């Protein structure tokens, strides 16, 4: 029997992939250890930015010193040259995510079948519905390391949701690389139908989407988000830039006015986004257009990414905006994001909401705003907003 640990770097999809390997090793009879030394370490890595690759390499080096065998999986494992000289006890598994659990478990060696119903040890469960991406944004390395889009069968997704509910997860987060590309034509499923049926699974208290491209915000999906009672009033819609020339250079599939028009029906939702600052085509005027669009679109939290060229992408050799300018613009956009969050939190004062408590003293309301409330972790409590703190809305049980 092998002792093992798993760890993920990066996004919710990376988390879901690490969970799949973890559950397979547990099902094969191996013993999970929290941290520290073990026979086996599995590291699901990220390569979305240069910094992410550096962090992945550091994590692998650390694990190689404390574990007998280290399996490097995930996006950075599929990026040529990311791990040039691995230590003798390090195996870089450059394979599609679907093949990872079987490959790693096969290499570790099965001991015997035990109870497979491993819990996630978290309040919310990330259920992967789709992988890969067939878009080709000029800056993005994901299609190169994850391949083209492919979807899980809707029946398998709904089965997993039922299993996660039975394990005690009140919140389900549908996740994927490009969620809106989810399709199960044989079963007649689009993302909109999946939202309706997933949200209606008995025991689901809250359903959330990890993110969706603005191109996929169809009337049908908007109706499904609005009409399914368990759906969280939060949506993450990457913008990347508010300037049409920059969006064209990024090979994004919308213009600034189209982005505005698509999110307009959801402006009461808590809309969060991603923006790349310092893309080669971005000058000061273009950046100002991004700032202005973030405000006009009613966005709140902005995840800011200073542009970092990725190997193998269309713009791999282009990085013309000086680091100091990227830093200054990123700071301005983060300051705006903080201000927009505070405005949304302010509007909550005196109101009540359902808060899913995911750690001691903190939880998230139905629109995924952070509320600070003293209640049992894992419970969904009604709370009243009584003030503001740096981390969120101050609240008491109502
Ligand atoms: S939609 Fe664009 S940014 Fe998103 S994963 Fe696909 S290629 Fe990358």
Domain-wise residue ranges, the chain: 3-108, 124-346, 352-397
Please give the pLDDT value at position 49: 86
Nearest to 22 by CA among 161, 121, 164: 121
The one-character DSSP state at 176 is: -
Average pLDDT, the chain: 94
Residue-level pLDDT at 110: 55
Question: Tens of pLDDT along 78-113?
Answer: 998 999 999 999 999 999 999 999 999 999 985 544
User: Which CATH class name applies to 3-108?
Assistant: alpha beta
Confirm or reject: Cβ of 212 under 6 Å from ligand 1.
Answer: no
- CA of 62 from ligand 1 middle (Å) equals 30
**Residue 177 CB less than 6 A away from ligand 1:** yes
Ligand 1 centroid to residue 137 C-alpha, Å? 6
Residue 70 confidence (pLDDT) above 70: yes
Binning pLDDT at 50, 70 and 90, where does residue 114 land?
very low
d(CA 165, CA 28): 23
According to DSSP, the residues that pair with 3 across neighbouring strands are 31
Q: In what order do the strands lie in the sheet with 299-306?
A: 234-236, 270-277, 299-306
Q: What is the pTM of this model?
A: 0.91
For residues 295 and 336, is the Cβ–Cβ distance under 8 A?
Answer: yes
Is the per-residue pLDDT at 288 higher than 50?
A: yes
**Candidates 3.80.30.20, 3.40.30.10, 1.25.40.320, 3.20.20.80; CATH matching 124-346:** 3.80.30.20
Please tell me the predicted confidence (pLDDT) of residue 348: 97
Q: Name the closest-CA residue to atom 4, ligand 1.
A: 178
Q: Is 16 in the pocket of ligand 1 (CB under 6 A)?
A: no
Long-range contacts made by residues 319-327, C-beta under 8 angstroms, separation at least 24? 319/280, 320/280, 321/278, 321/279, 321/280, 321/282, 325/278, 326/277, 326/278
Q: Is 277 in the pocket of ligand 1 (CB under 6 A)?
A: no
Rounded mean pLDDT, 15-29: 94
pLDDT for position 244: 98
pLDDT at residue number 375: 94
Residue 33 buriedness (CB in 10 A; 0-12 / 13-18 / 19+): middle
Tell me the pLDDT tens digit for each residue of 160-213: 999 999 999 999 999 999 999 999 999 999 999 999 999 999 999 999 999 999
């Amino acid at each position: 029997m092998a002792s093992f640990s798993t760890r993920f770097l990066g996004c919710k999809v990376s988390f879901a992939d690490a969970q799949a390997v973890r559950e397979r090793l547990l099902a094969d009879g191996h013993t999970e250890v929290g941290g520290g030394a073990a026979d086996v370490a599995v590291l699901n890595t990220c390569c979305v930015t240069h910094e992410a690759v550096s962090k992945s390499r550091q994590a692998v080096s650390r694990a190689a010193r404390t574990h007998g065998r280290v399996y490097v999986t995930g996006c950075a494992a599929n990026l040529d040259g990311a791990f040039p000289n691995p230590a003798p006890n390090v195996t870089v598994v450059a394979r599609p995510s679907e093949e990872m659990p079987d490959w790693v478990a096969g290499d570790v060696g099965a001991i015997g079948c035990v109870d497979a119903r491993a819990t996630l040890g978290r309040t919310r469960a990330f259920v992967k519905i789709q992988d890969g991406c067939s878009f080709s944004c000029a800056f993005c390395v994901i299609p190169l390391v994850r391949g083209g889009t492919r979807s899980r069968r809707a029946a398998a997704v709904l089965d997993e949701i039922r299993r996660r509910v039975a394990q005690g997860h009140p919140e389900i987060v549908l996740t994927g690389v490009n969620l809106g590309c989810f399709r199960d034509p044989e079963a007649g499923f689009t993302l909109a139908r999946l939202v309706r049926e997933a949200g209606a699974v008995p025991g689901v208290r809250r359903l959330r989407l990890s993110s969706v491209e603005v191109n996929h915000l169809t009337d049908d999906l908007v109706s499904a988000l609005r009409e399914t009672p368990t759906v969280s009033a939060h949506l993450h819609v990457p913008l990347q830039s508010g300037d049409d020339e920059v969006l064209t250079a990024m090979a994004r599939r919308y213009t600034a006015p189209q982005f505005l028009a698509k999110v307009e029906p959801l402006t009461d939702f808590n809309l969060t986004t991603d923006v790349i600052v310092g893309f080669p085509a971005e000058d000061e005027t273009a950046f100002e257009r991004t700032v202005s669009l973030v405000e006009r679109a009613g966005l709140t939290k902005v995840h800011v990414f200073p542009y970092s060229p990725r190997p193998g992408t269309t713009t791999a050799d282009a990085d013309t905006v000086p680091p100091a300018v990227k830093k200054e613009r990123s700071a301005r956009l983060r300051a705006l994001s903080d201000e927009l969050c505070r405005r949304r939190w302010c509007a909550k004062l005196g109101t009540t909401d359902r808060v899913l408590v995911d750690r001691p003293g903190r939880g998230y309301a139905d629109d995924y705003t952070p509320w600070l409330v003293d209640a049992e972790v894992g419970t969904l409590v009604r709370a009243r907003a009584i003030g503001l703190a740096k981390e969120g809305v101050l609240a008491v049980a109502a």
